[in-house]
Amino acid sequence: MQLGMVGLGRMGANMTRRLMRGGHTMVVSDLSADAVKGIAGEGAVASSSLDDLISKLNAPRAAWIMVPAGDPTEKTVQALISTMQAGDTIIDGGNSNFKDDVRRAKLCAAKGVHYVDVGTSGGVWGLERGYCMMIGGPKEAVQRLDPIFKTLAPGRGDIPRTPGREKMAGTAENGYIHCGPSGSGHFVKMVHNGIEYGMMQAYAEGFDIFKNATSKELPEDIRYDLNLPDIAEVWRRGSVVSSWLLDLTAMALTENPTLAEYSGFVQDSGEGRWTIQAALEEAVPAEVLTAALYTRFRSRQDHTFAEKMLSAMRQKFGGHVEPKKH
């Protein structure tokens, strides 16, 4: 299948590579001519502008946007709407606010263009592991793009089937689902990231307790000099708290048990805030997710070992680099 990819950062470039490995034809665009040239050298079709990208796609066209959320995505969507024709599809695979998706979908529909929002999880590991995708948009457009989603997704792999799942249809076991109408994909991804905050915070606080078990404020007979890399490792094997985040934690602690290379300054993406806003609008208690978000705010003032661990996990799963100290 042919697809346009707008944005060749960490995610966009690797998604392009995975799709090309799966036999799809990729037409690419990026503000960096060098990025376009580099991926074209791997087999993609280069374009010099959005208009040029659209001209090189066969109708009905499909263009996947993988640029930062907010103004960059908004400008890209508006530019594509002005160029695309009825039956074409715009796919936003970034981290947009689901309410923006609903608005953009209406603008697209007025011109007969489909709008599909795809919440994408997988980070820098997605090229090899595949990407978990939560998709919103018109059913006919999502079905037409199924070969793209199937290639990007992890597939069933060696994960045991959930008991009773063999009686159920759908693509969830392959790592992607059509959640519903426009906005629903990014809504599900938004809450996914809110949960991610809470899980990361729980690990970080637990290991901070371990690290401070040698405190001189404690009676000497209950001071413990614990091996943090070993604890993370043993929990990976048979523990009920095992997870991919724990795998990444174990990796970071093995590399440096003190996490000295991390300052503990932890950024927050929009989804964490939007999840709390959705909880407020729905009157749903979300104490853990809210506390995890607030901890990230506080991390920018002073830094604990827990916050260094959060920085370590973000770097491992998404390649997120801490901002330089001013």
- Annotated catalytic residues are 189, 196
What is the SS3 assignment for 197? helix
- Structure tokens belonging to residue 189: 């991804």
Kindly state the tokens that stand for 88. 């074409």
Among residues 142, 144, 141, which one has the least CA distance to residue 176? 142
* Cβ count near 259 (within 10 Å): 22
Which backbone phi and psi does 225 adopt, to 5 degrees? Answer: -95, 90
Q: Which of 19, 79, 70, 23 is nearest to 51 (CA)?
A: 79
Residue 3 contacts by C-beta under 8 Å, 6 or more apart in sequence? 19, 24, 25, 26, 27, 62, 63, 64, 148
- 8 A C-beta contact, residue 299 and residue 310: yes
Distance CA 26, CA 227 (A): 48
d(CA 34, CA 8) in angstroms, rounded, equals 10
In the sheet that holds 114-121, the strands lie side by side as 45-46, 25-29, 2-6, 62-65, 89-92, 114-121, 132-136, 176-180
Category of 43 on φ-ψ map: left (φ > 0), alpha (ψ -120 to 50) or beta: left
Give the span between the Cα atoms of 249 and 245, in whole angstroms. 6
Give yes or no for a contact between 151 and 19, defined as CB atoms under 8 angstroms apart.
yes
User: How many Cβ atoms from other residues are within 10 Å of residue 165's Cβ?
Assistant: 11
Q: Tokens 């592991």 appear where?
A: 129
Checking DSSP bridges between strand 89-92 and strand 114-121, what pairing results, if any?
parallel
